[in-house]
Chains A and B, each alone.
Chain A
Amino acid sequence: MSDLKVANLSLEVGTKEILKDVSAEMKCGELVGLIGPNGAGKSSLLKAILGLQDCVRGEVMLEGRDLNSLSIKERSKLFAYAAQGAPVHWPLTAEYIVGLGRAPHLNPWQRMGVRDLEIVEEALRKTDCTHLKEQSVTTLSGGEKARVLLARALASDTPYLFADEPVASLDPAHQLQVMDILKNEAEAGKGVMVVLHDLGLALRYCDRLILLHEGKTIGQGSAEEILSDENLDQVFGVQAERWKNKGRDFLIVHNLDKGVA
């Protein structure tokens, strides 16, 4: 029994069909990777699940309930979202932005309490942003900003977390750190879905993968199963070199067999 179930979801933007009969599942305690080439519909699937885009057909069920039956406020207590390249419009401090993550749990006039401040502090610490907290987010680098925005999503402390390419602009050490954070959140019992382009990270960290291609689900299952040579060749047009080190699986993609150096 899955906690989150997407069934036969179709999505159109204008006349273009972005998602075609997509089905996907996620359990609490699981880190699910959403992979696929550019334009496969990964971000759209996340947005459809989050209710940011209206679907033509299909349904999203959460713990047996249709998500459409939940109000925006109810959803905000269940789902947190770290958007891809999200903007920050005013020169507000990192600490303030992370604090916004507490908004779903406060009424319109309520300020943050001691517990909220602790959660914000904790989210800043986890994402290695504590030293940035007094700085204006508009002065931060792309990678620092991405970590602050992830911290904001963590501060919402919801049972489900969705991150759209959270490692895209990060240096290697912080990429690993962010993947560790997501893994820990999943191990702590959350359902975490993450859009990834780095198939090596997907293989090492994700419990399960969902492979999208041209708006369709090609497959979902264990990383070994989904990252088969056949899938890599057909969907991504690449080959892979694989090896094991200290019991961990490694994978790096190349296109040497195509005769390109």
Chain B
Amino acid sequence: MNKYLRDNVFLGLLLLGVMLFSLIFGRVDMSLADVWQGLTGGKDDSVSIIVRELRLPRVILGAVVGAALGLSGAALQGMLRNPLADPGVIGVTASAAFGAVLAIHLGFIISFPLMISFFAMAGALVATAILLFISARDASVLMLILVGLGISSLATALISLVMNLSESPISVRDMIMWMLGSLENRTVSDLWFALPFIGFGWLLMLNVGQELNALSVGEDTAKTMGVNIKQLKLRIVVGSAISVGAAVAVCGSIGFVGLIVPHMVRGLICKEPGRLLLPSGLMGALLLTFADILTRVPTPGTPLHIGVVMALVGAPAFLFIVYKAREAMR
């Protein structure tokens, strides 16, 4: 087995281990044996139900969302040839958040909570459409980044507007809490909502690896090497927009995963842009599962939100990586 394959298998096994470990923690104390019984046995006691219907969907959702963020980050960094790119750079994160905030403002949080996800997904899709429309004539890297920045700013402005107009302090609090990102109380229906979008996004980006490698020597040269640049950009922009949009729609804004995961993989596994994708997905899943365990550390007041934990872990990690990998930033 070559090193790359071995590293990926190791990451995958580690992920499964951490996911299993994550099932132990929660309001009800459990042992690993309880968790195992809940997963494998057909018993319908309370422990089994908690494991299967509350904890398992949450853990799977966390891993899938982490994988979506990590993989999109790696694909976008490769496509934009910029180590500072993350899924937020194309504007979908903020736009999905605006969709969710609007749904909360309209009162769906109590009447029909899944509507928040629908609105968030719609926000992400509208943002993608605007991005593609404006950059249709000139899809240069600079144009994509600037249009993404413009869309993000607009979405942020609209979020502020909704908060400003909201008369209920409880709604505003719900909006803020939603934007902090959470896997708390997620059910199978959230998983089924996100999975098709995330899966479709991944499908679009399935075999972009070699083309991303070719892009390392610039667009012109890559084109003479048989890369259809327009199609490649379309696939990565739409693929990551849809999968990240779905991730934000069910979990709220979770930053830093897409930014730092590709750097971790570059340092630990390989630097080849195309081969970053798979391990970045696995590493993203691992990181978010781990962050989710940290949110269950008892704290005074409201339980920790995963977006907060990720930012607290991610920002120092990012600074450390920047300091260590100055050469890669040039």
* Chain A residues within CB distance 8 Å of chain B: 47, 50-52, 72-73, 75-77, 79-81, 83, 86-92, 96-97, 100-101, 103-104, 106, 108-109, 136, 138-139, 149, 152, 156
Contact = CB atoms under 8 A, between A and B. Distances in A.
Contacts of A77: 226
B217 A88 contact: yes
B226 A72 contact: yes
Given A106-B210, A138-B327, A76 B216 contact: no
Contacts, number: 86
A169 to B, nearest CB: 16
B209 A88 contact: no
Nearest to B215: A89
B272 interface: yes
Nearest to B325: A91
B207 A149 contact: no
Interface string B204-219: 0001011101111110
B225 A91 contact: no
Contacts of B330: 138
Contact of B210 (A81, A87, A97, A108): A108
Task: Tell me the dominant secondary structure on chain A's binding face.
Answer: mixed
Contact of A72 (B220, B228, B273): B228
Interface of B: 81, 207, 209-211, 213-218, 220-221, 223-228, 271-273, 327-328, 330
A89 B223 CA distance: 16
Given A91-B328, A139-B327, A100 B226 contact: no
A76 B220 contact: no
A124 to B, nearest CB: 16
Contacts of B218: 83, 86-87, 89
Nearest to A110: B210
Contacts of A87: 81, 217-218
B217 A97 contact: yes
Given A86-B217, A88-B217, A90-B328, A81 B273 contact: no
B224 A80 contact: yes
A51 to B, nearest CB: 8
B223 A88 contact: no
Contacts of A108: 207, 209-211
